[in-house]
Amino acid sequence: MHAQSSRPSSNQPHLHPKLAATVRRHLGARSRKPVAPHNVAACKVLLAELAARPRPLVLDSFCGTGHSTAALARRHPGHLVVGIDKSGHRLDRHPADPAGHYLLLRAECGDLWRLLVEEGVGVDHHYLLYPNPWPKAKHLQRRVHGGAGFYWLLQLAAGRRPGAGAPSRIELRSNWQTYVEEFGVAMHLAGFPGSVARVPPGPADLSLFEHKYRASGHELWSYTGRASPAAP
């Protein structure tokens, strides 16, 4: 049973006025910050799994406890489904997967996205479920579309692996409508037009935060889009 969750409260009533300028700046200049060794190690684990059993990839970025990763592995049985979260504490709360149907990695998403791009690995489906909203206006740069990692997210979606079958598809969900609208505009600016809509009630919640927000009566929003050949 989850405690009631409060809705994101923001001093930003609409899209951030610096959204377009911030997105354009990141699209024009990729970060060359060194990648932390534990992220390199996590990428090696992923690459070794792909080498041992080659199959197309699904990412569950910001996976938290990885409950969504297990659900997505059931949804995509022919794929390698990988959950990524920087919090070992959250990942440790995941029940064991003796069958090894999916992989959970402790890593920073931005670094891992960049390493996969540099390794030439593509992703068929990329889920970003309920990333931290950072609702204060001064924290735009901490949102997925406001930070340097956005460049690598786009590169990863555009560089899908030849022969992998399904086209790259990105889905982001949040209980803060403005966040999803901002993400949709940022994706549009980058050449990934998609759609923003309410998440319909399903037979089961996809993640623990989805469950908590639904149980608290929040509206849930999603962006879904596919890479276009020209992007980004």
Ligand X SMILES: C[S@@+](CC[C@H](N)C(=O)[O-])C[C@H]1O[C@@H](n2cnc3c(N)ncnc32)[C@H](O)[C@@H]1O
Task: For ligand X, give the closer residue by CB, 66 or 225.
Answer: 66
Task: For ligand X, give the closer residue by CB, 124 or 210.
Answer: 210
Minimum distance, C-beta of residue 20 to ligand X, in the bound complex (Å): 23
Minimum distance, C-beta of residue 199 to ligand X, in the bound complex (Å): 12
Minimum distance, C-beta of residue 168 to ligand X, in the bound complex (Å): 20
Cis link prior to 54 (omega < 30° from 0)?
no
Give the residue nearest to ligand X (CB): 64
Minimum distance, C-beta of residue 43 to ligand X, in the bound complex (Å): 13
Which stretches of the chain bind ligand X, using CB under 6 A?
62-64, 68, 84-87, 90, 108-110, 129-132, 207-210
Minimum distance, C-beta of residue 69 to ligand X, in the bound complex (Å): 9
How would you list the strands of the sheet with 57-61, edge to edge? 102-106, 80-85, 57-61, 125-129, 169-174, 221-226, 194-198
Question: Whose CA is closest to 39, among 106, 121, 116?
Answer: 106
User: How far apart are alpha carbons 107 and 88 in whole angstroms?
Assistant: 9
Burial 147-164 (b: 16+ CB within 10 A, else e): bbbbbbbbbbbbbbbeeb
Task: For ligand X, give the closer residue by CB, 142 or 167.
Answer: 142
Question: Whose CA is closest to 191, among 222, 162, 150?
Answer: 150
User: How far apart are alpha carbons 137 and 195 in whole angstroms?
Assistant: 24
Task: For ligand X, give the closer residue by CB, 188 or 211.
Answer: 211
* Token duo for residue 43: 């990428």
Task: For ligand X, give the closer residue by CB, 90 or 161.
Answer: 90
